[in-house]
Amino acid sequence: MKVKGRVFRYGNDVDTDVIIPARYLNTTSESELAAHCMEDIDGEFIKKVQKGDIIVAGDNFGCGSSREHAPIAIKASGVSLVIANSFARIFYRNSINIGLPILECPEAVKEINAGDTVSCDLSSGKITNESTGKSFTAQPFPPFIQEIIADGGLIKHLKKENR
């Protein structure tokens, strides 16, 4: 699976409350959640984000609450990949379970700026900053996790397997 998009750049400890504030958790509608994605940290995000765009951030991305609404909102906003130095534990698990591609790659995070165009081959973990020409390699997920993500999440994956 290959993805490509423009980069939104954030710092360390981006928490689930800024990814999707709790005041919007009275719905499970993916489009409603997406409409408020990153609202409290970057009011411009939802106005500017386009299908395929990529979020690049520092340490501990997705810390805080277990709300699956956070990766759901990011995915539904059109984001194709999140690259970070590290992810908070529950967010990491939730992203795989709902089919949001994520990669840990501190080398890439260091060399990618907001607005750069980045492409990535999720099966090999190769990340290319098309704006600078530099390439990086993240540890790709094992094939079974890649399949879960490609199928659009754990439940859809299990359903396909049981068919």
Partner 1 sequence: MGMSMSQKILAAHAGLKEVRAGQLINARVDLALANDITGPVAIKEFVRSGAKKTADSSKIALVMDHFAPNKDIKSAQQCKICREFAAEQNVQNFFDVGQMGIEHALLPEKGLVGAGDLVIGADSHTCTYGALGAFSTGVGSTDMCAAMMSGECWFKVPAAIKFTLIGKPRRYVCGKDVILHIIGLIGVDGALYKSMEFTGDGVANLGIDDRFTICNMAIEAGAKNGIFPVDDITREYLKNHFKREVREFAADPDAEYEREYVIDLSKIEPTVAFPHLPENARTPESWGKVKIDQAVIGSCTNGHITDLRMAAEVLKGRKVAKGVRAIVIPATNEIYLQALKEGLIETFIEAGAIVSTPTCGPCLGGYMGILAENERAVSTTNRNFVGRMGHSSSEVYLASPYVAAASAVAGYLTTPDALAGDTLTGDGSENATNAANGTKNGASGGATNAAENEVKR
Contact positions vs partner 1 (CB under 8 A): 13, 15, 17-18, 21-23, 25-28, 39-41, 59-60, 63-69, 72, 86, 88-90, 93-94, 97-98, 153-156, 158-159
Interior angle at CA 42, CA 20 and CA 68, nearest 5 = 20
Interior angle at CA 141, CA 62 and CA 90, nearest 5 = 25
Nearest-approach distance from CB 70 to partner 1, in angstroms? 9
CA distances from 41 to 45, 93, 122 (A): 9, 23, 27
Give 40 or 130: the residue with its C-beta nearer to partner 1.
40
Give 32 or 121: the residue with its C-beta nearer to partner 1.
32
Nearest-approach distance from CB 128 to partner 1, in angstroms? 28
Give 3 or 41: the residue with its C-beta nearer to partner 1.
41
Nearest-approach distance from CB 123 to partner 1, in angstroms? 21
The pair of structure tokens assigned to 33 is: 């959640």
Give 86 or 146: the residue with its C-beta nearer to partner 1.
86
Nearest-approach distance from CB 65 to partner 1, in angstroms? 5
Closest CA relative to residue 18, chosen from 35, 42, 34:
42
Give 41 or 46: the residue with its C-beta nearer to partner 1.
41
